[in-house]
Amino acid sequence: MSTTISPLVIGHRGASGYRPEHTRAAYDLAFMLGADAVEPDIVATRDGVLVLRHENEISGTTNIADHPEFADRHTSKTIDGTAMTGWFTEDFTWAELSTLRARERLPKVRPANVAFNDSEPILRLSDLLEIVHQHPEARRRPLRVVAEIKHASHFESIGLPLDELFAREVRGWATADNLIIESFEQSVLHRIRDRGIPGKLVFLLESSGAPADLVAQFGARARNYAEHLSDEGLARLAHEVDGISVDKKMLMVKDLLGNLTGTNDLVSRAHAAGLLVFCWTLRAENRFLPKNLRSSKQPEQFGNWRSEFRTLMDSGLDGVFTDHPDLAVTARG
C-alpha cells in the first residue's frame, strides 16, 4: 500500500457518518479527519458522464422527487437481479443531473446530517479527482481514491462501458500508489487493467449469491461468492486480483445471542494466498454494532464502536471502509 500505517482508513463515500454521502463536504471532511483514502461509487449518465452515487437509482440520495420536470422518468428496472423503482442516472444527461441536490440516505439514523440536505450538488468523478489533488492534506501526506465500479454488466448492456469511461477519466491522474479499483464484478476490473490503468484491483464479495457478470455468462452454474473464498478459490483469485473486500460480518464470530466474540481465519487464509484484505463498513451507531456493543436501544446513538473496530483491525486487515474516519484512525492508533 506504500504506507507504513495499517490498516488503511478509507472514508466510505467520504465522511458519510457526518455529512450526506458523496458530497464535496463529505470528501473534504474525510481527509480532514485523517482518512488515507476516500471511496466513490461510480455510475454513468445517459451521455457517458461518470457520477458519484451509491446506486444508479437516486431517489433516496437526491431531491429528484421534487422536480416535476422529471416525473415522467420514474420507472422500474431489474438491476443485477434486483427489482428497483425510481429514477436512474442512465436516463438523464449530466446537465439534467447537475440541477439536483444531495440528501442524507439514512435520515432516521443520522438526523443531524439532514440539516445539510439540498445544500450541495451531486458530483462527477472528475470533481472528486480535483478535490483530492487540491486538498490541503495532499501537501502533508499521500491521498488515495478507492473507486468502486457499480453495475458494470448492466451499464455495458445499455451501451455505457464503465471500463472505457473510467479509463478515459483517470488516465494521466492515476498512479500505482493513488488508486485502488474495486468491483463486485471481476471482468470490469480486468478490462480496466487491460486499458493500461495503474492501481491495485480489489474484488468485492458478499456473504451470499454470485457475481452479476458470472451469472450473466454462466447462469446457475456461476461460481458463487462462497466458492471464491475457499482455499482453492483464494489461490485462484491471487492470480487475478490484488485483494478482496468483504462485509465485516463475514469476518465476525458471534455467539448464539449475537454477541461479538472474535474473528475467523479469513484474513489469515487470504494473506497466505497472497491477497490484501479489506472490510466494510465500520460505523459507530448502535444499529450497525453487534448486540453486546450497543449502548442503548436507540439505533442512532453511538455504541462501543472502539471494541468492534479494534477486534476487526486486530485480524490483520489491510484496509477498512468507515463512515467515521476519525474514529477508525483513533482505533487504529
Nearest of 130, 148, 133 to residue 21 by alpha carbon: 148
Is residue 297 in a domain? yes
Give the residue among 129, 137, 118, 144 at the shortest CA–CA distance from 36.
144
End-to-end CA distance of the chain: 18
Whether the predicted pLDDT of 288 surpasses 60:
yes
- CA neighbor of 254 nearest in space, from 262, 244, 243, 246: 262
3-state secondary structure 175-223: CCCCEEEEECCHHHHHHHHHCCCCCEEEEEECCCCCCHHHHHHHHHHCC
| Mean pLDDT computed over 59-75 | 98
- Which CA distances in Å does 52 have to 55, 157, 216? 9, 20, 25
State residue 3's pLDDT score. Answer: 44
Q: Specify the pLDDT at position 161.
A: 98
pLDDT of residue 62: 98
In a domain? residue 315? yes
- C-alpha span between 99 and 63 (Å, rounded): 10
The DSSP line for 208-266 is SS--HHHHHHHGGGS--HHHHTSHHHHHHHTTT-SEEEEEGGGTEEE-TTS-EEEE-SH
3-state secondary structure of 251: coil
70/186 Cα distance (integer angstroms): 34
In a domain, 265, yes or no: yes
Q: What angle do CA 206, 210, 215 make, to 5 degrees?
A: 150
pLDDT value at position 7? Answer: 98
Give bridge partners of residue 211 from the DSSP assignment. none
Q: Is residue 2 part of a domain?
A: no
* Sign of the dihedral defined by the CA atoms of residues 284, 288, 293, 294, in that order: positive
Mean pLDDT of the chain: 96
- Residue 288 included in any domain: yes
Parent domain of 126: 8-332
Under the banding of pLDDT at 50, 70 and 90, the label for residue 2 is very low
Q: What percent of the chain has pLDDT over 70?
A: 99
Q: What are the residues whose beta carbons fall under 8 Å from the beta carbon of 22, sequence distance 6 or more?
A: 13, 14, 16, 40, 41, 52, 53, 54, 61, 102, 122, 123
What is the mean pLDDT of the segment spanning 135-142? 96
pLDDT at 5: 78
Quick check: is 1 in a domain? no
| Distances in whole angstroms, Cα of residue 81 to Cα of each of 105, 128, 212 | 22, 30, 8
Q: Indicate the number of domains in the chain.
A: 1
pLDDT tens for residues 121-132?
999 999 999 999
Average confidence (pLDDT) over 254-267: 97
Task: Provide the greatest CA pair distance for the chain.
Answer: 55
Cβ atoms of 320 and 312 closer than 8 Å: yes
Nearest-angstrom CA–CA distance, 252 and 249: 5
CA distances from 281 to 51, 320, 322 (A): 22, 7, 5
Q: What is the mean pLDDT of residues 264-279?
A: 98
In a domain, residue 69? The reply is yes
The C-alpha cell that represents 78 in the structure block: 431489474
For residue 218, the domain's CATH number is 3.20.20.190
CA 323 vs. chain centroid, Å, equals 10
| Inside any domain, residue 273 | yes
Please give the DSSP secondary-structure letter assigned to residue 74: -
Q: Which residues pair with 279 in a beta bridge?
A: 246, 320
pLDDT at 4 exceeding the cut of 60: no
Percent of the chain residues topping a pLDDT of 90: 98
pLDDT of residue 293: 98
pLDDT in tens, 191-222: 999 999 999 999 999 999 999 999 999 999 99
Rounded CA-CA distance 208/16 in Å is: 26
| Closest C-alpha to 245, from 318, 332, 331 | 318
Please answer whether residues 24 and 127 qualify as being in contact, where contact means their C-beta atoms are separated by less than 8 angstroms. yes
